[in-house]
Chains A and B, each alone.
Chain A
Amino acid sequence: MKRERIANICLVGSLLLAAVLLFFALRGCVAEPGTQFEIRVDGNLYGRYALGVERTVQVEDRLTVRVEQGRVYVTESNCPQGSCVRHAPISRVGERILCLPQRVEIRICGEGEPDFVLRASLTEAAHG
């Protein structure tokens, strides 16, 4: 086998291996159903909410988050590609939905303080 081919195989192989290992390493850190979730904007905590309460959170003019039956998802977003809207609902500790253009992160967390709201600019809608 030529040198280049061996080099290529080694390169690709080790990268793929690293990816797989990294995946399992990250996964090993999470998994239970969460009790609350946080919304962070520009890295700062925007609000922390209980998962058990059905509600709709309007994050400024960036996006809309909905919580239903312990699962969190994004219903609409002011971003070009909208991958956050298409993301599957999350419910386990460590899972997150990101909207990079709007720099919003929604993350599930575990035990902690009871439900409280940090910002006044929230619209809470009862389950409809």
Chain B
Amino acid sequence: MDREKRQRTVRRLAGLGILLALAFGLGYLDYLIPLDAVGVPGIKLGLANLAVLAALYLYGWREAALVSGVRILLFFFVFGNLTSFLFSLAGGLCSYLGMVLFRRVSLFDELGVSVIGAVLHNTGQMAAALFLLGSDGILWYYPVLLIAAVLSGSAIGLLFRTLNRRLLGRIGSRLGVSRAEGKKEDTDGEKDGDEKGS
């Protein structure tokens, strides 16, 4: 492996470590914030998705899968709640697949990808709950969950989009970003026309 590639690999590894820690931390913060007042149990902001989004946009689908999957596992190891783990797994899987798909389709930007991620996450959890609880009672919560997902997904997506354009575009090489973000881009006249070279 030539030197530059090695450096990139090491940086990418470090970057993934940071993203994983971020995902875990945000996930915990999520758990602390009680949105249950709405009356719907299990309603979350989905902050951890920010890290998965970052992994997806900075590195690729494999890395995003890593961040998402390992984070879910980590939560299980730390908190040991099997039911939560299954819910997270279901939600995380659906969410991940949707995000990768939407990312491919150049029609959607970070906001769209985040929204579909959040929505599918809740939908996946709802489906898992339907199985585990064996009754359709939970369906009642779905409309609220949907709206919450759209709102939080939009917020996270917006936040990430701003971060991506302003910050990550510039420091990309330090994180070992491998792909040139030529795909969908700053055709909207923002001053950040930076290429994330490597």
Interface string of B35-69 (1 = CB under 8 A from A): 01101111000000000000000000000000000
Q: For residue A1, give the distance in angstroms from its CB to the closest CB of chain B.
A: 10
What residue in chain A is nearest B102 (Cβ atoms)?
A11
**Known contacts A4-B184, A42-B134: does B147 contact A19 (CB below 8 Å)?**
yes
Binds A, one of B8-16, B138-146, B163-171: B138-146
What residue in chain B is nearest A12 (Cβ atoms)?
B150
What residue in chain A is nearest B132 (Cβ atoms)?
A103
B-contacting residues, A66-96, CB 8 Å? 80-84, 86-88, 94, 96
A-B contact count (CB 8 A): 102
Q: Is B84 an interface residue (CB 8 A)?
A: yes
Q: Is B20 an interface residue (CB 8 A)?
A: no
**Known contacts A4-B112, A11-B116, A105-B137: does B41 contact A98 (CB below 8 Å)?**
yes
What residue in chain B is nearest A14 (Cβ atoms)?
B150
Q: Is B1 an interface residue (CB 8 A)?
A: no
Taking CB atoms, residues of chain B closer than 8 Å to A81 are 34, 36, 41
Taking CB atoms, residues of chain A closer than 8 Å to B133 are 40, 43, 98, 100, 103, 105
Interface string of A18-60 (1 = CB under 8 A from B): 1110110010000000000000101110000000000000000
**Known contacts A26-B140, A83-B41: does B129 contact A107 (CB below 8 Å)?**
no
**Known contacts A11-B116, A101-B83: does B135 contact A107 (CB below 8 Å)?**
yes
Q: Is A99 an interface residue (CB 8 A)?
A: yes
How many A residues face the partner with a CB closer than 8 A? 36
Other-chain residue from A2, A43, A88 in contact with B188 (beta carbon distance below 8 A):
A2
How many B residues face the partner with a CB closer than 8 A? 40
Beta-carbon contact of B119 and A15 below 8 Å: yes
Measured CA separation A40–B13 after assembly (Å) = 47
Other-chain residue from A7, A15, A82 in contact with B146 (beta carbon distance below 8 A):
A15
Q: For residue A2, give the distance in angstroms from its CB to the closest CB of chain B.
A: 6
Chain B residues within 8 Å of A, Cβ to Cβ: 34, 36-37, 39-42, 81, 83-84, 87, 107-109, 111-112, 115-116, 119, 129, 132-135, 137-144, 146-147, 149-150, 154, 184, 187-188
Q: Which 6 pairs from chain A and chain B are nearest by CB?
A: A43-B134, A23-B143, A83-B36, A19-B146, A83-B41, A4-B109
Q: 11 pairs across A/B with beta carbons < 8 Å?
A: A7-B108, A7-B112, A11-B112, A18-B146, A83-B39, A88-B39, A98-B138, A98-B141, A101-B84, A103-B132, A105-B137
Chain A residues within 8 Å of B, Cβ to Cβ: 2-4, 7-8, 11-12, 15-16, 18-20, 22-23, 26, 40, 42-44, 80-84, 86-88, 94, 96, 98-101, 103, 105, 107
